[in-house]
Amino acid sequence: MNNRFSPYFFSILLLLGATRLSTAQQAGFNYDESKVPSYSLPDLFVSTKGQEINTITDWNFVRRPEIISLFEDHVYGKLPRDLDGITFTLVNGDEQAMDGLAILKEVNVTVQRNGKSITMPLTVFVPKHHQGDAAPVFLLITHRGPENIDPTRKEKSDFWPAEMLISRGYAVAAIHVQDVSDDNKETFKEDILTKLYPEQLTMSNGMRGLGAWAWGAMRAMDYFESDPDIDATRAGVVGHSRGGKAALWTGAQDTRWAITISNESGCGGAALSRRRFGETVARINTNFPYWFTDNFNRYNDNEDALPVDQHMLIAAIAPRAVYVASAEEDQWADPKGEYLSLKLGSRAHQTIYQMDTKLPQEQPKVGEPIHMGSLGYHMRGGTHNLTALDWSYFLDFADKLFQK
Q: Please check whether residue 323 is in contact with residue 376, taking contact to mean a CB–CB distance below 8 angstroms.
A: yes
Asked if 384 is an active-site residue, the reply is: yes
Q: Please check whether residue 394 is in contact with residue 138, taking contact to mean a CB–CB distance below 8 angstroms.
A: yes
Q: Toward ligand GCU, which CB reaches closer, 242 or 311?
A: 242
Q: Toward ligand GCU, which CB reaches closer, 242 or 274?
A: 242
Cis peptide before 121 (omega within 30 of 0): no
Catalytic residue among 241, 326, 341, 346: 241
SS3 121: strand
Rounded distance, CA 49 to CA 355, Å? 27
Q: Please check whether residue 285 is in contact with residue 223, taking contact to mean a CB–CB distance below 8 angstroms.
A: no
List of residues contacting ligand GCU (CB under 6 A) = 241-242, 266-267, 279, 284, 332
The distance of closest approach from Cβ of residue 279 to ligand GCU in the complex, given in angstroms and rounded to an integer, is: 5
SS (H, E, C) 266-299: CCCCCCCHHHCCCCCHHHHHHHCCCCCCHHHHHH
Catalytic residue among 143, 176, 311, 384: 384
SS (H, E, C) 297-325: HHHCCCHHHCCCCCHHHHHHHCCCEEEEE
Rounded distance, CA 196 to CA 117, Å? 7
The distance of closest approach from Cβ of residue 121 to ligand GCU in the complex, given in angstroms and rounded to an integer, is: 21
Q: How far is CA 279 from CA 73, 108, 198, 212, 256, in A?
A: 22, 36, 30, 22, 31
Question: Which residues is 371 bridged to in the sheet?
Answer: 376
Question: Which H/E stretch holds residue 112?
Answer: strand 102-113
Residue closest to ligand GCU, measured at CB = 241
Q: What is the DSSP letter of 169?
A: T
Question: Which residues is 325 bridged to in the sheet?
Answer: 263, 378
The distance of closest approach from Cβ of residue 314 to ligand GCU in the complex, given in angstroms and rounded to an integer, is: 17
Question: Catalytic site residues?
Answer: 241, 384
